[in-house]
């Protein structure tokens, strides 16, 4: 299918709460789309149809009686298979976790259930959220990757299997697959959506993929309202309803370290698109402070990778090596000699990046960058681990900066290049997720979407 940015996909907020469909009828339509295309998309590792139907009936009854638990009562949601769910196994795309089923709900899953959401499916992740891909294909072109590590979450939303799927991001795993698949997505401020049992790394986040800003925001906010964010953080802040569109005065542009590797058509489309926005748009060459941030984040990918590899090392060492991919073993071995001083040095570089962003707060309402480096690349889904390509789900490096910065980023589906989605991300200051979402909504409606 050729993608066009006018595509709207499957949304919940304007359907079930509005009484257009009951929660059960909405679920059945999702299940029909799954039955028709899941054998091609391969977004899920587990589906709990029976539990979902029971939960949908309960939600339908509550809504009919005017007792909805929240705006997302009755919403079917898929959960990335890194995150624990009581009603389905959690196997993390890794043979070391085959059959793992701890029968626990992660914090966000518990909050979703309390809000009435339906935990329908577990979505394919790359191995432990790292490089080794699963079988999922891009719904817009099955010869291309949907991105990763939130491969199944991105594809499930794009295929209309669920209106919202939870993904996680360490380098670029929410923002990038959403951009490759034509979704909205919110990567919240570090810790904004409670990561539950997954607190082991200092720059990873959980956040929603959706077909609308509203569904993404409502899910994230209903979670933080109930369980807060990560321990020691305030959690996602902002209104309970979706922030209204906000017109910015000034926007800054970041090219990020991946720019030289992006195809010319996507580069030109991005520049043309941001120049078409009805606001002041500043490029790094025109503002030394913005250029200083661009310079500070120029090694964000390598620094974030080093920090995360050190943090993950002890947990990964507990796994049997013969159940890990070659790519994973290479990652593990690369960090074997690192000590506390190496980690502290990398964290100091990260702190410098954050200071460079903070310095821009008085001058810019938000920053803009490509959310993915052009259209999703082609890959061979039948040969995982067949080669040592370190990035079989695409290059995450245009997202490495926002991951290291710990700031909010919103993927907005506003461009098509070569018939595939290419998203633009709106980047806010930490804890200003609501403002970033408001500017993202403004952007989506402020200028014509671009087809290159």
| Catalytic-residue membership of 173 | yes
The beta strand positions in 193-271, using DSSP E, are: 205-210, 250-253
For position 351 contacting its own copies by CB under 8 A, the verdict is no
For position 125 contacting its own copies by CB under 8 A, the verdict is no
Per annotation, catalytic residue among 22, 106, 131, 149:
149
Q: Which of 22, 138, 212, 224 binds its own copies (CB under 8 A)?
A: 224
CA distance 412 to 442: 10
Q: Which of 33, 61, 225, 250 binds its own copies (CB under 8 A)?
A: 225
CB 180 within 8 A of CB 375: yes
User: 340 or 382, CB closer to its own copies?
Assistant: 340
Binding to its own copies by CB under 8 A, coded x per residue (else -) over 173-202, reads ---------------------x-xx-xxxx
CA distance 185 to 212: 8
For position 343 contacting its own copies by CB under 8 A, the verdict is yes
| Catalytic-residue membership of 70 | no
User: 86 or 418, CB closer to its own copies?
Assistant: 86
And the tokens for 415? 């461009």
For position 239 contacting its own copies by CB under 8 A, the verdict is no
CA distance 349 to 298: 11
CB 399 within 8 A of CB 389: no
For position 273 contacting its own copies by CB under 8 A, the verdict is no
C-alpha distance from residue 409 to each of 35, 62, 201, 367, 404 (Å): 33, 34, 19, 9, 12
Interface residues for its own copies in 373-432 (CB under 8 A)?
Answer: none
How many helical (H) and strand (E) elements, i.e. helices and strands, does the chain have? 13, 14
Q: How far is the CB of 238 from its own copies (least distance, A)?
A: 11
Q: How far is the CB of 374 from its own copies (least distance, A)?
A: 32
Choices 74-82, 98-106, 163-171, 212-220; region in contact with its own copies by CB under 8 A? 98-106
For position 26 contacting its own copies by CB under 8 A, the verdict is no
For position 265 contacting its own copies by CB under 8 A, the verdict is no
The beta strand positions in 14-157, using DSSP E, are: 44-47, 76-80, 118-123
Choices 18-26, 211-219, 309-317, 423-431; region in contact with its own copies by CB under 8 A? 309-317
Q: Which of 330, 344, 355, 361 binds its own copies (CB under 8 A)?
A: 344
C-alpha distance from residue 225 to each of 24, 62, 172, 345 (Å): 25, 20, 26, 35
For position 289 contacting its own copies by CB under 8 A, the verdict is no
The conformation of residue 85, written as its DSSP 8-state character, comes to B
Peptide bond just before 149 cis, omega within 30 deg: yes
C-alpha distance from residue 322 to each of 96, 131, 260, 319, 328 (Å): 9, 17, 37, 9, 11
For position 105 contacting its own copies by CB under 8 A, the verdict is yes
Q: Which of 185, 202, 203, 167 is nearest to 413 (CA)?
A: 185
For position 60 contacting its own copies by CB under 8 A, the verdict is no
Per annotation, catalytic residue among 22, 60, 70, 80:
80
* Residues at the contact surface with its own copies, assessed by CB under 8 A: 86, 103-107, 110-111, 194, 196-197, 199-203, 224-228, 231-232, 234-235, 310-311, 313-315, 317-318, 339-340, 343-344, 347
Active-site positions read 80, 149, 173
């Amino acid at each position: 299918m050729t993608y066009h940015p006018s595509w709207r996909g499957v949304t919940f907020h304007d359907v079930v709460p509005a009484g257009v469909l009951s929660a059960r009828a909405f679920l059945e339509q999702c299940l029909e789309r799954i039955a028709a295309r899941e054998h091609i998309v391969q977004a899920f590792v587990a589906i709990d149809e029976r539990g979902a139907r029971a939960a949908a009936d309960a939600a339908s009854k509550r809504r009919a009686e005017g007792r909805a638990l929240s705006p997302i009562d009755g919403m079917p949601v898929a959960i990335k298979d890194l995150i624990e769910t009581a009603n389905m196994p959690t196997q993390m795309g890794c043979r070391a976790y085959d059959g793992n089923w701890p029968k626990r709900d992660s914090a966000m899953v518990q909050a979703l259930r309390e809000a009435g959401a339906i935990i329908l499916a577990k979505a394919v992740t790359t191995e432990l959220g790292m490089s080794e891909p699963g079988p999922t294909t891009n719904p817009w072109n099955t010869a291309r990757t949907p991105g990763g590590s939130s491969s199944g979450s991105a594809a499930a939303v794009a295929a209309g299997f669920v209106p919202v799927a939870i993904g996680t991001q360490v380098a670029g795993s929410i923002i990038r697959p959403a951009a490759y698949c034509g979704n909205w997505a919110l990567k919240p401020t570090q810790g904004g959506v409670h990561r539950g049992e997954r607190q082991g790394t200092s720059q990873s986040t959980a956040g929603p993929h959706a077909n609308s800003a509203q569904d993404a925001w409502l899910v994230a906010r209903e979670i933080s309202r109930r369980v807060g964010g990560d321990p020691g953080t305030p959690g996602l802040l902002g209104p309970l309803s979706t922030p209204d569109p906000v017109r910015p005065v000034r926007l800054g542009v970041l090219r990020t370290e991946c720019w030289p590797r992006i195809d010319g058509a996507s580069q030109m489309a991005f520049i043309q698109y941001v120049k078409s926005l009805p606001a002041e748009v500043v490029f790094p060459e025109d503002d030394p402070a913005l250029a200083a941030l661009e310079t500070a984040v120029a090694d964000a990918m390598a620094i974030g990778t080093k920090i995360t590899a050190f943090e993950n090392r002890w947990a990964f060492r507990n796994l049997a090596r013969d159940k890990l991919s070659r790519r994973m073993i290479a990652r593990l071995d690369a960090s074997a000699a690192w000590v506390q001083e190496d980690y502290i040095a990398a964290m100091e570089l990260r702190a410098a990046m954050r200071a460079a962003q903070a310095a821009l707060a008085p001058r810019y309402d938000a920053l803009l960058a490509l959310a993915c480096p052009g259209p999703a690349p082609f890959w061979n889904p039948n040969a995982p681990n067949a080669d040592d390509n370190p990035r079989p789900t695409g290059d995450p490096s245009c997202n490495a900066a926002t991951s290291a910065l710990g700031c909010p980023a919103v993927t907005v589906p506003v461009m098509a290049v070569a018939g595939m989605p290419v998203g633009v991300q709106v980047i806010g200051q930490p804890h200003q997720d609501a403002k970033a979402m408001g500017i993202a909504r403004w952007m989506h409606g402020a200028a014509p979407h671009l087809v290159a």
